């Protein structure tokens, strides 16, 4: 089904001669937003990789969940939680590279430190925030006569990876050319990773 959930890309790759699973947002389709189908597609692939102990690399460029009544009536919260659950439960090595946008709840879902990611990198061009700068400024500085200037100030202060890195939610800000080298080194370091979930009969994934 090559046309199914094209805003989410999944597949396998080789890093240092070993198989890894790749999960990435496709910004050319629906701006890379997470919708119902993309969330289910990503969750199934993540659980497949975790079942066979295949490390995961997440390439993140997500502006949020796709808005709209159709998504809401279809259960976007329930289906979006499947991807969140799958990544949080997975015990294989999990690496994330934020390439551009990482906004709101979708940033958390796409393998953030908040759900036990092992390594999180960000490119200098990335923006990690609750929402886009234009929308944020229109709310925070409502009524200000010079919104353009306020937007520039917001971008300089918040719409970059460094505030997040200061808080420890990004391990390093790296140049794009160094990405593969760093990921290969991290996969080698995490090869013998041993992580166990709390014992119970089974989890309660939102079906």
According to the model, what pLDDT value does residue 38 have?
Answer: 97
Written as six digits, the tokens of 187 are: 């996969």
Q: What percent of the chain has pLDDT over 70?
A: 100
Beta-carbon contacts of residue 146 (< 8 Å; ≥ 6 apart): none
Map residue 151 onto helix, strand or coil.
helix
The single residue listed with the structure tokens 């070993």 is 18
> 38-47, 83-92, 116-125, 191-200: lowest mean pLDDT where?
191-200
Contact status, residue 94 vs residue 56, Cβ threshold 8 Å = yes
For residues 152-180, one letter each, b for 16 or more C-beta atoms within 10 angstroms of the residue's C-beta and e for the rest, the string is eebbeebbbbeebbeeebbbebbeeeebe
Report CA torsion sign: 159, 162, 164, 169.
positive
> 61-65, 89-93, 192-196: lowest mean pLDDT where?
192-196
φ, ψ for residue 128 (rounded to 5)? -115, 110
According to the model, what pLDDT value does residue 175 have?
Answer: 97
Task: Answer whether residue 57 shows pLDDT above 90.
Answer: yes
According to the model, what pLDDT value does residue 142 have?
Answer: 84
Task: Answer whether residue 1 shows pLDDT above 80.
Answer: no
pLDDT tens, residue by residue, 81-136: 999 999 999 999 999 999 999 999 999 999 999 999 999 999 999 999 888 888 88
pLDDT tens, residue by residue, 133-180: 888 888 888 888 888 888 888 888 888 899 999 999 999 999 999 999
Task: Answer whether residue 14 shows pLDDT above 90.
Answer: yes
> Which whole number is the average pLDDT over 181-207?
92
Written as six digits, the tokens of 73 are: 């009536």
Contact status, residue 86 vs residue 109, Cβ threshold 8 Å = no
According to the model, what pLDDT value does residue 7 have?
Answer: 96
Contact status, residue 107 vs residue 128, Cβ threshold 8 Å = yes
> Which whole number is the average pLDDT over 195-204?
88
């Amino acid at each position: 089904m090559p046309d199914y959930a094209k805003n989410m890309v999944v597949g396998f790759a080789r890093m240092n001669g070993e198989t890894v699973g790749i999960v990435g947002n496709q910004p050319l389709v629906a701006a890379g937003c997470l919708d119902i189908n993309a969330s289910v597609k990503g969750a199934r692939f993540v659980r497949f990789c975790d079942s066979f102990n295949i490390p995961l690399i997440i390439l993140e460029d997500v502006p949020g969940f796709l808005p709209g009544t159709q998504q809401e009536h279809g259960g976007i919260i329930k289906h979006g939680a499947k991807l969140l659950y799958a990544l949080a439960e997975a015990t294989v090595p999990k690496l994330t590279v934020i390439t551009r946008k990482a906004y709101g709840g979708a940033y958390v879902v796409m393998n953030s430190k908040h759900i036990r990611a092992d390594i999180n990198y960000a490119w200098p061009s990335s923006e990690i925030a609750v929402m886009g700068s234009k929308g944020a400024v229109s709310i925070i500085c409502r009524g200000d006569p010079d919104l353009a200037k306020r937007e520039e100030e917001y971008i300089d202060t918040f719409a970059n990876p460094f505030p997040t890195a200061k808080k420890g939610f990004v391990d390093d800000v790296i140049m794009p050319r160094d990405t593969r080298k760093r990921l290969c080194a991290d996969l080698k370091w995490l090869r013998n990773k041993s992580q166990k979930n709390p014992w119970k009969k089974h989890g309660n994934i939102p079906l």
